[in-house]
Structure 1
Amino acid sequence: MTASTQQLPQNSQDQLLTPGEVAAMFRVDPKTVTRWATAGRIGSIRTPGGHRRFRESEVRTMLAELTSDVDAVNGG
């Protein structure tokens, strides 16, 4: 277990997203999202079955940061 991968919390209030759902938000392939998690760019949680899930709040924060970075580069 890496520092960015945790076990599924029992009482989490945050919505958990699949790699496919995260990929759709970023308009990338789900394998790209899995690589980001492996590289530590985004935190993930493992379900008891071993599947990755991502906290919606963290994903939205990352998306907002990337969007604001692009706006800054484009002069907006």
Structure 2
Amino acid sequence: MTTRTPDAEPLLTPAEVATMFRVDPKTVTRWAKAGKLTSIRTLGGHRRYREAEVRALLKGVPSIGGDM
């Protein structure tokens, strides 16, 4: 179990992001490798994505990484 502070930003798994964009989770991983989406690595080496950034991309807000 992880301990989170109240101000910790929610993180999403590749599967959760993929569901939001209606793509395969491997596509989300490719986006992260290409720099189009920022990923955070867990201690186990798994990728997690900031919910705020993902929601901004869904709304069409341009990111530093450019267009998808």
Say yes or no: TM over 0.5.
Answer: yes
Q: Deviations over 1:42-68 (max 9, x none)?
A: 0000000000000000000011017xx
The CA RMSD over aligned residues, in Å, is: 1.6
How far off is 1:14 after superposition? 1.1
Q: Which has the larger radius of gyration?
A: 1
Structure 1 unmatched ranges of 5 or more: 1-9, 67-76
| Length-normalised TM-score, structure 2 | 0.78
Structure 1 vs Structure 2: percent identity of aligned residues? 65
Structure with bigger helix share is 1
> Which residue type is aligned with residue 42 of structure 1?
L
Number of residue pairs the alignment of both structures matches: 57
Structure 2 unmatched ranges of 5 or more: 62-68
